[in-house]
Structure 1
């Protein structure tokens, strides 16, 4: 089981806070129903719980759900998987899929995004975040003696790869944020208390000069 995000401190915690803030910034504040698919322990769900009138966190892992239910109030949490969403068509006007797709086999990615599209209303918002062009690390499995990707990341993803597995012609990209793996911007005390807008400006300036690589990418789509 991975480390509980709520237990992070210092650099690791600041990265997660910034990513969650950018996800929140990407969402429309007039949403009625929001679905957070693969919400894990509810860390980012806690940041976006006031964006919509009703927020539902969906998670397959029972241990993560137990933590989320304890930590996050005013959110409804359900145990379900991305390829079988237990909702009617066009139930939600916002859907988030955060740090999920890199863990899924390709067919499950396709099936899950098709389901997300099914439950999302026309003109609804889809937010996806993934590690950006990750240089994956492999370790030898003690059970099968085969190379296994660390953290269960099966894919290295970017915006083009995400676009290729989205349901054809159903989503229009409208915004993307590249978030740094640069400790100076993400984590040092001199920048830690900056407002998000100022932090993003510094991030974007450094990005233009290739001072850093993106650690995460947050993508915003509108369903056509």
Structure 2
């Protein structure tokens, strides 16, 4: 069960949430807002909140809208993030996870996994962190995460990263892997997450590097829609420009050579431990610079 003292009311922004006697609700003692708690997972959305509607350039041209919260809640119902992946995809995702793990603090006190998906953060970090919180916009994903990794130091919350329910200075490490390319306002995404870092805490982000956005024809409306719901493409300059305050440092690294991916070298490379794979990947990018992924770390100044 999550530590409720970490939470704030997303309606009035006060630190006044109390758990009800039935354990089925969180109640704000200031504005009286009530938030449901399902299977020990609080759901912290504003009930009267207007649906967030986003239009990228392609949406504007097609006259369509993107209701991202509704989209990803339905996505979690229709697609199983925990099912076995195709071998090449599984290898690529594994290397992203290993890269993040290699760059993360070794014994963090509290970690937040933003957009927890299949909860790999809980799998890798529950043995070293005092507390891991899986957060997703979908209760389905959070529920499955807690069921698969039922550790005492693993808890969950359903919330929107653009209206976070956490108090400032709450986390030593925040991980958001392959999320920022999906969100409506990436600058607000970064700002909100840095706000809840402790001094010295780190925000770790990965995203496709210089991705050429592609579109598919929707079988329902016969209009173009962004493939994989990727609505932004990033490089180091765009990412650095998302947050320019002097209370953080910024660094980045690129990895996952596209040539190695396209040549399906995972058939051999998947046998190698991370360190050996990383060496081969560096050599490949030195010969043919084409990294598929960028890793970014914002560290809050102590």
The question of a shared fold, defined as TM-score above 0.5 by the shorter chain, is answered with yes
Report if the CA contact (8 A) 1:180-1:213 is conserved.
Answer: yes
The equivalent of 2:114 in structure 1 is: 37
Report if the CA contact (8 A) 1:15-1:186 is conserved.
Answer: no
Deviation at 1:139, TM superposition (A): 1.2
Report if the CA contact (8 A) 2:254-2:294 is conserved.
Answer: yes
| Cα deviations by residue, 1:42-92 (Å, 9 ceiling, x for unpaired) | 134422333421111110022222322222232211101101222111011
CA distance in 2, matches of 1:186, 1:175: 25
The equivalent of 1:110 in structure 2 is: 187
Does residue 282 of structure 2 align to residue 204 of structure 1? yes
What TM-score do you get using the length of structure 1 for normalisation?
A: 0.89
The equivalent of 2:138 in structure 1 is: 61
Q: Which has the higher helix share?
A: 1
Larger Rg over CA atoms? 2
The equivalent of 2:171 in structure 1 is: 92
**SS at 1:52's partner residue?**
coil
CA distance in 2, matches of 1:131, 1:8: 18
| Mean CA deviation greater in 135-144 or 13-22 | 135-144
- Name structure 2 gaps, 5 residues minimum: 1-74
| Mean CA deviation greater in 113-122 or 140-149 | 140-149
What TM-score do you get using the length of structure 2 for normalisation?
A: 0.67
Does residue 78 of structure 2 align to residue 8 of structure 1? no
User: Over the residues paired in the alignment, what is the CA RMSD in angstroms?
Assistant: 2.0
Query: How many residue pairs were aligned?
Result: 220
Does residue 294 of structure 2 align to residue 217 of structure 1? yes
- Name structure 1 gaps, 5 residues minimum: none
Does residue 233 of structure 2 align to residue 156 of structure 1? yes
User: Which structure has the higher relative contact order (CA within 8 Å, separation 6+)?
Assistant: 1
Deviation at 1:134, TM superposition (A): 1.1
Q: 1:55 to 1:214 in 2, by over 3 A?
A: same
Deviation at 1:7, TM superposition (A): 1.8
Report if the CA contact (8 A) 1:41-1:68 is conserved.
Answer: yes
**SS at 1:30's partner residue?**
coil
Q: Aligned to 1:178, which of 239, 255, 269?
A: 255
Following TM superposition, the consecutive aligned residue runs of length 4 or more in structure 1 with deviations greater than 4 angstroms are none
Deviation at 1:143, TM superposition (A): 4.2
